[in-house]
Amino acid sequence: MPTRVVWYGDKVKREVRADIDKALTAVALQIEGQARVEITNNGQIDTGFMRASGYTKPPEKGVVVVGFAADYAIFQELRNSFLFRAAERVRGNDAENAIARVVRR
């Protein structure tokens, strides 16, 4: 009796890619939220526009973007980092926890 092999590779790839995108988004949103906290902690709020201009772009080809649209945000980042510091703070346990929440769903 011949053995029949059923290949689910393409389906598995799609599902894994979707889970990776969800995990990347979860970590990016953690970084965005922490960056807003850093802006407040750094005393970089005048009108609140920069803090409100934060955004996270959905993953594309395994890359997710976290940014702040205020035109002066780059100068504030260079003067007193908020985005890099947020990424550093989220790295490790916070990122692992965000990924674990996505995987458990």
- With respect to residue 29, please indicate whether it lies within any of the assigned structural domains: yes
Q: Which domain holds residue 22?
A: 9-104
Asked if residue 95 lies in contact with residue 64, where contact means CB atoms within 8 angstroms, the answer is no
pTM of the model: 0.81
pLDDT at 81: 95
Question: How far, in whole angstroms, is CA 52 from its chain's centroid?
Answer: 17
Band the pLDDT of 103: cuts 50, 70, 90. low
Residues 8, 101: Cα–Cα separation, whole Å: 25
C-beta of residue 82 within 8 angstroms of C-beta of residue 7: no
Does residue 83 fall inside a structural domain? yes
Overall domain count for the chain: 1
Q: Are 87 and 64 in contact (CB under 8 A)?
A: no
- The 10s digit of each residue's pLDDT in 56-75 is 999 998 899 999 999 999 99
Distance of CA 4 to the CA centre of its chain: 42
Residue 78 lies in a domain: yes
Write the pLDDT tens digit of every residue in 30-45: 999 999 999 999 999 9
